[in-house]
Chain A
């Protein structure tokens, strides 16, 4: 076979770089235009997303800011907008925050440690892992139904802080487990090996070396999960948290309300002034949540030695 004649007839001739006018020039211009257009389109989408966030925040600030005063924090809710406040909701939210965190963090982090460091590589562990993934995707309102049937009715906790916090614990447990697992996974094997090589045993390696190294990552995940719990409304409504509460809870058996429920309650009233009250309460809620978010992001960027 004579290979020298085997030329690629018809193969594109792209011409010189100094593109003299040719049939190709139009095509080239078109390709360039699409490329540029698409870039602008992506940019526009990002811009749109940012504008949406800004509009949301500005809209809420404009509606609610003028309602925030000292009275707003010290008054209970009321049928009259000008006398209504969020004292009960704030206390309720703080109780829920504290209780849920103290249930969910130890459970979630231990489960993550077990799955990453102790669990045998067996089929049932894989199933547990898949199960946790599915629990994380279960709608929050289904957790509400579970809480209603288990804590409120079966254990007879009534519509107490305890029932609400336990329900939210179940809700955020899978999220805490998954994010803690990620943080533990990011700790390199070499650290464990170094500790073992110095004669440490398993629990010493895990709790004295791996866990401290993974701590910033775990904390970030934990804070984000707790802030998720603080913003939840539906499951608490389902278990019967009240929307008209004129007292602050004193122990875990008390009935309660939380900020999101108060917001929902005010927002679903037809009067405009209650909508503005809702906006005011949203400002307080968002300040709380954004503060937690910033703390989480700060912790991650500042202390995380092992990137995910």
Chain B
């Protein structure tokens, strides 16, 4: 996708002066950024740079970390996720998340997928929903004959695709992915990467990765984080070929990491 094309798109997610603290320690320093609809945005940076923390503040998952405090604003389709009126439960039903390690529920494959829609009041055809979600997650062929087996019987890569499928089943606008391939072997990683390029036509994807090649392969925009600061952001090709900040270049060329 070319840079000029994404220029015209509407902004779906935006942060303004976002700070996150763990107790006394500040993990995220005043980050302002915009993600446009239908793009794949990659957050890169050395480990401990705050990219996961940042990602988790985009769907209020940091609410579960007792010591975490967020101030600043996150706008989703123009509405502030941290305003008093915002309901975190509802936010998460529209901004899905895929985690670092596959975390299927200890239930059947089928039930893993329908659980989210069910609690959110989906009354349509469950079988169809399962089939379509699994097809989109490129898992249907492998599991169509054993939908009622435990999700734990699947391989790691399959489990992760199941987690993506169950996120897709909610029909979210945005999918956040927190290093979704870090616990997987190269073949499963390949499958997930293919899947992401497939998915970006429908969903906005924000992906944290420690793997720069991966970021280069799949993303349209890249955001480079370092010690809780957003150092540089822009079109992925630009960042990887002509970064404007020295630190970005040092990181990308492997001088630190």
Interface residues of A in 19-74 (CB under 8 A from B): 19, 24, 27-28, 31
Partner of B122, one of A6, A11, A18: A11
Is B1 in contact with chain A by the CB < 8 A criterion?
no
CA distance A19 to B86 in the complex (A): 10
Q: How far is the CB of A199 from chain B (nearest CB, A)?
A: 38
Nearest A residue to B168 by beta-carbon distance?
Answer: A8
Q: How far is the CB of B171 from chain A (nearest CB, A)?
A: 4
Q: Is A17 touching B121 in the complex (CB atoms < 8 A)?
A: no
CA distance A4 to B76 in the complex (A): 25
Q: Is A27 touching B129 in the complex (CB atoms < 8 A)?
A: no
Partner of A10, one of B77, B120, B125: B125
CA distance A215 to B89 in the complex (A): 46
Interface residues of B in 144-200 (CB under 8 A from A): 168-171, 198
CA distance A17 to B121 in the complex (A): 16
Q: Is A17 touching B86 in the complex (CB atoms < 8 A)?
A: yes
Q: Is A12 touching B133 in the complex (CB atoms < 8 A)?
A: no
Is A16 in contact with chain B by the CB < 8 A criterion?
yes
Stretch from B21-29, B90-98, B236-244, B247-255 contacting the other chain: B90-98
User: What count of chain A residues pass the 8 Å CB interface test?
Assistant: 18
Q: Is B90 touching A8 in the complex (CB atoms < 8 A)?
A: no
Interface centre among A14, A16, A17, A24 (most CB of B within 10 A): A17
Nearest A residue to B125 by beta-carbon distance?
Answer: A10
Q: Is A12 touching B201 in the complex (CB atoms < 8 A)?
A: no
Is B124 in contact with chain A by the CB < 8 A criterion?
yes
Q: How far is the CB of B12 from chain A (nearest CB, A)?
A: 13
Nearest A residue to B172 by beta-carbon distance?
Answer: A14
CA distance A4 to B202 in the complex (A): 9
Interface centre among B76, B93, B94, B121 (most CB of A within 10 A): B121
Q: How far is the CB of B14 from chain A (nearest CB, A)?
A: 14
CA distance A6 to B76 in the complex (A): 26
Q: Is B121 touching A4 in the complex (CB atoms < 8 A)?
A: no
Give chain B residues whose Cβ lies under 8 Å from the Cβ of A11. 117, 122, 124, 129, 169-171
Q: How far is the CB of B121 from chain A (nearest CB, A)?
A: 5
CA distance A4 to B133 in the complex (A): 14
Q: How far is the CB of A83 from chain B (nearest CB, A)?
A: 58
Chain A residues close to B by CB (< 8 Å): 3-4, 6, 8-14, 16-19, 24, 27-28, 31
